[in-house]
Structure 1
Amino acid sequence: MLISPTAVYVLLLLAAPLAAVLTFSFWTQDFLTIDRTLTLNNYREAFTDPIYRTLMVRSLIISGVVTVVTVVLAFPLAYFVSFYVDPSRKALWIFLITIPFWTSYLLRVFLWKVILGFNGVLNSGLLSLGLIDEPITFLLYNANAVVITAAHAFAPFTILPIYVALEKIDRSLLEASRDLGESRMRTFFRVTLPLAMPGVIAATLIVFIPIIGDYVTPRLVGGPNGLMIANMIQTQFLKLNNAPMGATLAVLAMCAVTAISLIFVFFNRKYLR
């Protein structure tokens, strides 16, 4: 009786849409007419068409790079706030970290477009300093721009869970490690990092899972070489009137993300043992 309202809510808002997408993936569509005959043609096309394979592989690579870059850059900041900032000032630091949430995600993407553009802030600054002779062209409208923009946008999502995990570490364990003759570096890798892994795992999944479904950033700053599978899903649904193929690509993307996430969690559990 207590959980039934929540269960119904979850079924209606999560399970039902996923079931609808899965069902659509086995249908076909001719402009506005949907043929509800069950078929695997969409999946065959998705696996055989090189465009879909390229976009899927590129999406996984970009998502992985963004995740690694974001976590690697976020960990030192979270470590600094947790271990070196005075407890009375930690709330201020967390407040500053969350400032990017105050602005629209779309606005932040546009700002990076201005910064990385051919005549943008970065190129103009480097030209004025005499560090380059002509504007750098590889900063915008490619996978590099997607990685830079997405890493900035998801930085707070990685800093906060890592910070929480570091705050839960019993400082006496670190003191015991030092008393037993371990150096600071070995203490970090043998005590601090393993105890902080739940936060690292949470940050990794928080970034990796939504990045592969992001279509705004690749569309605005990615260019032809930075488009991802989500852009093709949007095109199939909204421009090509082929909802079954869009649903098929969405199902395959979800399966790929789920498999990679489960593998990562499995190896992390073995590491923690």
Structure 2
Amino acid sequence: MAKTVSAEAKTGWLLVAPPGLYTALLLAAPLATVLIYSVLTKVGGQVGLPFTLDNYTEVFTHPIYRAVMLRSLTVSLLVTATTVLLAYPIAYYVSFHVAPSKKSLWLFLITIPFWTSYIIRVSLWRTILGYDGIVDSMLMGVGLASEPVNILANGVTSIVITLSHAYAPFAVLPIFVSLEKVDRSLLEAGQDLGESKFMTFLRVTLPLSMPGVIAAVLIVFIPTVGDYVTPELIGGGKTPMIANLIEVEMLKKNNKAMGSAIAVAAMMIVALVSVVFVLWNRRFLGGRK
């Protein structure tokens, strides 16, 4: 028996060894390099010894770094909230009100934005939100504005709108999967006991679908914090976020130590927020048992 278990263990290690090595080379090694660079000292145009934590001190105390960090978190939270609030009704409608034979078609239509390049989609929003663009023409056409509003000039607002559109399908799909797992008999039982449809939704459907909601939050929040393309194209570089700041430090200022420290600090903040949501998710999963 022991020999059989040992043989199975060896077979398992052999199976996971190639992807494990691949992960170590492509993920762990770059991350370790960034961590080491973040505690080095800039000497001229290079980085070297001694090790120091001054880079992290500057990241959290310098007003520019703190402002960009706060803006990135604010934009990401706004995008996450907007995306999830818009995605939930869509996922709910497809799950509860679309015939089973047509659900695949609806999911297919939801993924249509993925057919085009992300950069193309961002560039199209420049035309939609820009000066005398589609939004301005519509507002002036119906008399809601006497002159172009030029939403694009408001960097944060235009970035939130663009990112919310880009990540909408990522939020719809996990929420839909979670709603599909909701036992319909529980909803019928709630209404048989005298609950209204709205109260049944609040007390049964919403709590049971929260794992999907939290998954959608994480899927949207994590990548939008470090988004580089949208602030660069939509904001015109005038509303930088963390990724843009890292690019400036790494390439333009040739300060790899500070750029690495900013990247690690951002990862720590994202990890902390993610852990909070994961623990919250475990609470709902525990409630199902």
SS of 1:38's equivalent? coil
Deviations along 1:77-110, whole A, 9 cap, x unmatched? 0000010011111111111100000001111111
Distance 2:129 2:275 in 1: 35
Is the partner of 1:204 in helix, strand or coil?
helix
Deviates more, 1:114-123 or 1:149-158: 114-123
CA displacement at 1:152 relative to structure 2:
0.1
Q: TM-score, normalised by structure 2?
A: 0.90
Report the 3-state secondary structure (helix = DSSP H, G, I; strand = E; otherwise coil) of the residue aligned with 1:130. Answer: coil
Residue of structure 1 equivalent to 2:100 = 87
The Cα shift of 1:224 comes to 6.0
Give the deviation of 1:10 after TM superposition: 1.5
User: What code does the residue aligned with 1:119 have?
Assistant: D
Cα deviation code 1:181-207 (max 9, x no counterpart):
211111111111111111111110000
Alignment of 1:135-154 (within 5 A): 135-154=148-167
Map 1:1-273 onto structure 2 (within 5 A): 1-30=14-43, 32-223=45-236, 226-270=239-283, 273=287
Amino acid at match of 1:203: A
Report the secondary structure of 1:154's partner residue: helix
**Counterparts of 1:140 and 1:84 in 2: how far apart (Å)?**
40
Question: What's the Cα RMSD here?
Answer: 1.5
User: Structure 1 residue 255: deviation in Å?
Assistant: 0.3
Cα drift, residue 178 of structure 1: 1.3
List per-residue Cα deviations over 1:132-160 (Å, max 9, x = no partner): 11111344341000100000000000001
Measure how far apart 1:119 and its partner are. Answer: 1.5
Matches of 1:137 and 1:92 in 2, distance apart?
36
Kept in 2: contact 1:113–1:221 (CA 8 A): yes
Gaps of 5+ in 1: none
CA shift digits 1:16-60 (9 cap, x unpaired): 111111011011334542223211121121122100000011111
SS in 1 for 2:47: strand
Structure 2: which 5+ residue stretches go unaligned?
A: 1-13
The size of the alignment, in residue pairs, is: 273
Moved more, 257-266 or 60-69: 257-266
Larger deviation, residues 221-230 vs 107-116: 221-230
Greater mean alpha carbon deviation, residues 140-149 or residues 60-69 = 140-149
Between 171-180 and 208-217, the greater mean CA deviation after superposition? 171-180
Preserved contact between residue 31 and residue 241 of structure 1 (Cα < 8 Å): no
The verdict on how the C-alpha distance between 1:165 and 1:271 changes in structure 2, with shifts beyond 3 A counting, is closer
- Counterpart of 1:21, as a letter, is V
Letter in 1 for 2:197: R
Give the structure-1-normalised TM-score.
Answer: 0.95
User: Compared with structure 1, are the counterparts of its residues 257 and 214 closer, same or farther at alpha carbon in structure 2 (3 Å cutoff)?
Assistant: same
Q: Distance in 2 between matches of 1:227 and 1:171?
A: 46
